[in-house]
Structure 1
Amino acid sequence: MQTSQTPAFGAPAKLFHWLTVLLLAAQYAIGWLMPDVHRDTQPVGLIGLHLSLGATIVLLVLVRLAWRFSHKPPAESSILPASMRLAARVTHALLYVLLIALPLMGWANASARGWAVSLFHVVPLPALAATGSAFGHTLGDVHKLTAWVLLVLIGLHVAAALFHQFVIRDDTLGRMLPGVRKIR
């Protein structure tokens, strides 16, 4: 049950959050299952889907940020020390940065390979790097490393939510999940 000290996030914020989670879960699964990308690889099948989902994630996160900046989030837990509140803000900021930067790096790499990037073969998107661009190819390598960094940050985010729920017991998890009650 929500308390007056811990108001829940609104439905749009929850929707943006959980859509992002679903897209990332699909994106990581596809990233691990799709064939390795080599010089002659074409962006078909899982690779094409990976590109489309990445572009969708960028769009969703940009809309999510616009919503976030135009709607004040519920107040943070006041029982946390300032250092923990700062760590939460930094982690959230890094998540947003990586959720935009990671797909853009993959998109630039695809552009450097001469691949057309689109939203599910319906909306063509502009190239972010010239075909053959060394920088675009390098971003492909950075993209792989950054995917692991994002996964670690997601793990920290989940661990923090569980820490709030089961150790601090401040109902932070309940603010984002319907039906989760504060543990006393």
Structure 2
Amino acid sequence: MPNPAIPNQTPSAPPAPAAYGLPARALHWIMALLVLAVIPAGFAMMNLPSGPAQDWFFDLHRSIGFTILCLAVVRVVVRILNPPPPRPANLPFALWLGAEIVHYALYVLLLVMPPLGWLASNAFGASVSVFGLFTLPNLVGKNDALADMFGAWHQRLAYLITALVILHIAAGLWHGIIKRDGVLSRMLPHLSRRQA
């Protein structure tokens, strides 16, 4: 509160919420771009007729999926070594808890879905080539029953992660455009904001 004895004093702005560290922010946006690429690639490969185009989308989907798996492992390690900033004071506990549930669900899905896709590909009789640079070892042999099972679970989780990604984006836009409470800016690139 301004002191009337001090002229030209303006009320101090509330402190900005502490930001995520640079590694967490970089991994977040790199993985966000990869997820936004792998989901449509997956739906495309499942709806295209057999042929070179479908094969290309299969290879792209598998390659991005393996990359996401590697980055997800790194991101979990970064989160453990550098815990996220505390809940912003202006963010209600219920909203924070909901966001935490979505975040952890996304972590689990990003760690579980790529191996399921890898297993499904091997069970269908296909190897997983990563951008044509190297081929991953086969985890299982060709097995139609396993292929159907792993493929079905991978597809179900694809719908779930798509819904969670849409929810996550909508929440971020709500914080950034409507609420303008500084929550979104904690994950945006910046130079001046205090880091946790």
TM bracket, shorter-chain basis: 0.7 to 0.9
Q: Structure 2 vs 1, CA of residues 104 and 29 (structure 1 numbering), >3 Å: closer, same or farther?
A: same
1:27 matched to 2:43? The reply is: no
Asked whether 1:125 is paired with 2:122, we answer no
Q: Percent identity?
A: 35
2:123 is matched with which residue? Answer: 112
Counterpart position of 1:18: 29
> What per-residue deviation string (whole Å, max 9, x for no partner) do you get for residues 91-117 of structure 1?
100011111212221111101012111
Aligned 8 A contact 1:77 1:170 in 2: no
Larger Rg: 2
C-alpha distance in 2 between matches for 1:23 and 1:152: 16
Paired residues of 1:30 and 1:46 also in contact (CA < 8 A): yes
Q: Distance in 2 between matches of 1:14 and 1:3?
A: 23
Q: Which range moved further: 165-174 or 93-102? A: 165-174
Relative to structure 1, the CA distance from residue 166 to residue 116 in structure 2 (aligned partners, 3 Å threshold; closer, same or farther) is: same
Residue number in structure 2 paired with 1:49: 60
Q: Report the alpha carbon displacement of residue 128 of structure 1 after superposing the two structures with TM.
A: 3.0
User: Does residue 155 of structure 2 align to residue 144 of structure 1?
Assistant: yes
**Equivalent residue pairs, number:** 177
Root-mean-square deviation (CA, aligned residues, Å) is 2.5
**Is residue 58–residue 103 contact of structure 1 (8 Å, CA) maintained in 2?**
yes
- The residue that corresponds to 2:5 in the other structure is none
2:59 touches 2:130 (CA, 8 Å); kept in 1?
A: no
The 5 A counterparts of 1:67-82 are 67-82=78-93
Query: Matched residue of 1:115: which SS?
Result: coil
Say whether residues 1:91 and 2:93 are aligned partners: no
Q: 1: CA distance between counterparts of 2:113 and 2:104? A: 14
Return the letter of the residue paired with 1:117.
V
Letter aligned with residue 12 of structure 1: P
CA distances 1:66-114 after superposition (whole Å, capped 9, x unpaired): 1111112222212333222221111100011111212221111101012
Q: TM-score, normalised by structure 1?
A: 0.84
Unaligned runs of 5+ in 1: 180-184
Match of 1:170 among 181, 187, 195: 181
Opposite residue 114 of structure 2, the aligned amino acid is P
Q: Distance in 2 between matches of 1:79 and 1:116?
A: 50
Contact 1:113 1:131 in 2 (8 A): yes
In 1: Cα distance, 2:14 partner to 2:135 partner:
47
